[in-house]
Structure 1
Amino acid sequence: MSTPPKDRYIPNALKFAFGGGAGMLATCVVQPLDLIKTRMQLAGRGKSSFTVASEIIAREGFFSVYTGLSAGLLRQATYTTTRLGVYNYLFDMYREGNQGASPGFAIKTVLGIAAGAIGAFVGTPAEVALIRMTADGRLPKEQRRNYKNVVDALARIVKEEGVLKLWRGATPTVARAMVVNAAQLSTYSQAREMIAVYISEGILLHFCASMISGLVTTIASMPVDIIKTKIQNAEKGQSQMSVVTNLIRKEGVFSLWKGFLPYYARLGPHTVLTFIFLEQMNAAYFSMNEKA
């Protein structure tokens, strides 16, 4: 009799580590788009993403497009890892309470929203540091915060403004995560099902479904994202409500979708790259176990 194949199982702790690691690798690729998106959200009217990108490179140098990378990586390490961990925990709890039955699509969406909200709250300090670091270059030199890295940013925020400022804008950050998770879960699965008729299973299918999902998610989540960005970059003492009312009064309702192109260009590829890196990590783990 032939030897049965080894069970292709990955421990939960490694699942979380792989998920966070995949998100961090994807961030290394799309960080410039994140910076351009943030600058557009904070800039006045009339500037395209290409104009903003060329201004950043001309004024601050080519490698400035990776400003805030350490904060972006910390955000993935906290937000993505927590979100995946909580989702898997809630998923397993549901199965244990329902005689091993897997949750349906609606329950999966609810679990995803809950996991996204918790992950976003945990990741808010890194998000605040990221917004400030990517926005710093647009200010006059005498007004810049000049954070050296994410650790310096977090330490100075606590020292200069108090520990609670690390969670500035936590409400819109959590709201954005809930919207993003709800939109991504529903549209990605639906788009993948429709496209699978024409494209076989593989990276191309995942890419197309991710880009469609990213379009819907961008439209739905951008207003919350821009409000979050404005609040987290606001000066000390400025209330959250005044930030929102000033934005709409001065720039109009459609300013809530400012930076649409880099936001969309980041969201789809980040999902695809995260998936590709995650699959490679899983394959490497299985390969090592099979050789052992």
Structure 2
Amino acid sequence: MAMDANNGIFLVAITICEIENKESWRYFMTLLKEFIGDIDLITIISDRQKGLVDVIQTCWSNASARYCARHVYANFRKKFLGLRNLFWAVSRVSNIIDFQQAMEKVEAVDREAHRWMIENDVRSWSRHSFDLDSKSDHVTNNMCEVFNSWLGENRELPILSLLEHYRRRVMVQMQARANARNDWITTVPPTVHRKINGLIESARNVKDIWPGSDEFEVNLLALTFVVFALFREGKLHQPQQVRHVNIKATVKGSRYFRSVELKHAIVFWCDKIVQA
């Protein structure tokens, strides 16, 4: 399963095998790679199924591999109770400073839980460390559960009938989305459009000054930030990518680095386009 530009599930490929093991995953991933090609940027979110991690490293050595945080949490709560909110705070933070603060809160409550997170490769299921070039910030693969729910009573069908069920379901879904595209009011997908409008609204109190270099001064109420923007081939990154750039701020006399929030990126990204 994959996600389309409008944040909807998109069936890429399906296979039916006798058992879930390393060989069946190798068979599936090899055929998948032959079908879609050797993509430079691809993100794979898995439940760390048997043999899958090793197969990903072999077949997709350039892939940005993540672990589904929901399944990581399922293992976490078997040992540590009452830490649900702290766990998801660690998983969903988008910058290193907030991540460190979230981990400090976990350590203050339970040092063993803090050690468990570190030992279980927290960077593979915490948003702050995701590849900057990835277009997805999902921390779970819940879309697969939606796909599995399609089975219903059809789970008991013969193999060919089951595949026909999926084929027809996908065919209807794709046509419905094609029809819905005619109602879009912009070239930007509706889900993204609503998100951008919400960010624009939340950025009304954000002011920026661009001196023409790779620095911006961003003013938010009583706070002043010096933002270092990321450029590629002479062009400023899209807002989704700019939210990961480093920011140096002075607050109450202390200087620290953190990632710029997306609403700040919206302001100085739009201003640079206007001034250019």
Q: Same fold, TM exceeding 0.5?
A: no
Write 1 or 2 for the structure with the bigger share of helix: 1
Higher strand residue share: 2
Give the number of the structure with larger relative contact order, counting CA–CA contacts within 8 Å between residues 6 or more apart: 1
- Higher Cα Rg: structure 1 or 2? 2
